[in-house]
Amino acid sequence: MINKNKYRFSREFEKTDKRFSIGERLVHGNEILIIAGPCSVESKEQMLETAKGVSKAGASLLRGGAFKPRTSPYSFQGLGVEGLEILQNVGKKLNMPIVTEIMNTELIELYSEKVDLIQVGARNAQNFDMLKKLGMQKKPVLLKNGLGTTVNEWLMSSEYILSNGNDNVILCYRGTRSIENATRFSMDIGAIVVAKESSRLPIAVDPSHAAGRKEFVKDFALAAIAAGADMLEIEVHNNPEKALSDKEQQLSIEEFGELMDDARVVAKAIGRKIRKG
């Protein structure tokens, strides 16, 4: 389907796995990296408490949404620049690289300076203009698939970044819209496996958005590891019932700890390891 030779994301362009480091954490090595943190940055206290919890449980990178892409304009839209600063401060304090979503090209300069891993969300997965500009800056990019995009389109979106000069791209699968309504999205193992086979880029998986319900997140995460995920991104909140967004799908710190324990055993079974911190 894809003429793989000509594309920079492909194994024909470079046979070896693409590796790079974020704050001394090697991406796409044998160690699986865990990104954890709340859906939205809500306050300094919330962020600090959550970060301490996930750090202690072994997460390597800290996530938190400052600018939030919400279906409705009347839903909480995030704390914006203030949220970004809280995230940055907490990340520094705990020595965790930070991951947060970008929603427009005007923020690229700020993000390039302050954010360690710039996330492109599902809604902007084919915002080609933003992808081009993210290709012209240096910070690594975590690129989610679109709600209704195919694997081929997702890989082609990564090409917009790669072909503009930035080779540090992580593909992050967050589930696909489907005919099923029992979960928020479908987590199609095929998408992970095909992306891994076709591409030299590291593959992350976001089981939280796929599942949409906290009681399913662990099983989704274990399946993703078994299928070959190189990273996981998990939503964790110090007090999920009080979360300002996505409250059904965020794990408590304790639940995240249990997920990490099980993830370590499954990773070991397939000859890998979960990086600690």
CB of 270 to a second copy, least distance (A): 7
d(CA 179, CA 43): 37
Are 25 and 208 in contact by the 8 Å Cβ rule? The answer is no
Q: Which is nearer to a second copy, 167 or 188 (CB)?
A: 188
DSSP of 89-121: HHHHHHT--EEEE---GGGHHHHHHH-SEEEE-
Q: What is the residue type of 125?
A: A
Q: What are phi and psi of 99, to 5 degrees?
A: -125, 125
CB of 269 to a second copy, least distance (A): 4
Q: Which is nearer to a second copy, 23 or 165 (CB)?
A: 165
CB of 273 to a second copy, least distance (A): 13
CB of 51 to a second copy, least distance (A): 27
Q: Which is nearer to a second copy, 137 or 163 (CB)?
A: 163
Element (H, E) at 240: none
Are 86 and 47 in contact by the 8 Å Cβ rule? The answer is yes
Widest Cα–Cα separation across the chain: 50
Q: Which is nearer to a second copy, 16 or 74 (CB)?
A: 74
Q: Which is nearer to a second copy, 1 or 24 (CB)?
A: 1
CB of 40 to a second copy, least distance (A): 15
